[in-house]
Amino acid sequence: MVRREVLAEGVDCYLGDCLEVLPTLGRFDAVVTDPPYGLSGASTEKNEYASFSDEPAKVFDLVSAVLESGKFERLVMTPGQKMMFRYREPSAVGSFYYPAGTGSCSWGFVGWQPIFYYGKDPFLQDGKGRAANSFVSTESAEKNGHPCPKPIGQWTTLVARTTRKGEHILDPFMGSGTTGVAAVKLGRRFTGIEIDPGYFDIACRRIEAALKQPDFFIDPPKPMKQEALL
């Protein structure tokens, strides 16, 4: 059973499997997402999704299905270093650089995270308007009940760089809802999909809180009543 929560006009979240929900949805301006990294069984394994098998093959199948769905004008994701060479070649590659490091591997400290860009830069017109596609981040993520939330400032920068005001963003691996928080604060529409009920509830609460405190210069979405089960 898929559950849908409508948090505001143009802002909704689905509790369910993204492969089941995605075919029922229309087309989006952009997908901005941080899918699982396929860490199950690795020496660095930690923080697996409670209701999701984080096996590399499972992750690859899910993310590839999203990539090939044709549901977006552009897609931006952080694939994780373990999985990054498995996916279809992106249009461009950027990164988050962490001066303090984020962990270690067999060749020392890890200080970056890849960003894959698919499709066309929404701000590039006639060869003008080029902007950075890599970013320095020293921000720590807030503790919100999810094992690996994204830092909100970092993710807000990514959403602002890759989407325009008023566009509709999809996150098929919503987690704790950081993409949704950034989207509504920046005046974007948002749809999120999450398979874990606990993380889904965390995401809805965080997005609802963000809707009450939008960016001062952005008109907030109009409130709407929540919908019942589909």
Is the pTM for the entire model greater than 0.75? yes
CA atoms within 13 A on the CB side of 214: 16
**CATH H-level superfamily of 3-212:** Vaccinia Virus protein VP39 (3.40.50.150)
Handedness of CA 119, 71, 161, 125 (dihedral sign): positive
Nearest-angstrom CA–CA distance, 97 and 94? 10
- The tens digit of pLDDT for each residue in 163-210 reads 999 999 999 999 999 999 999 999 999 999 999 999 999 999 999 999
pLDDT in tens, 142-171: 777 776 778 899 999 999 999 999 999 999
Residue type at 121 in one-letter notation: D
Q: What is the 3-state secondary structure (H, E, C) of 33-66?
A: ECCCCCCCCCCCCCCCCCCCCCCHHHHHHHHHHH
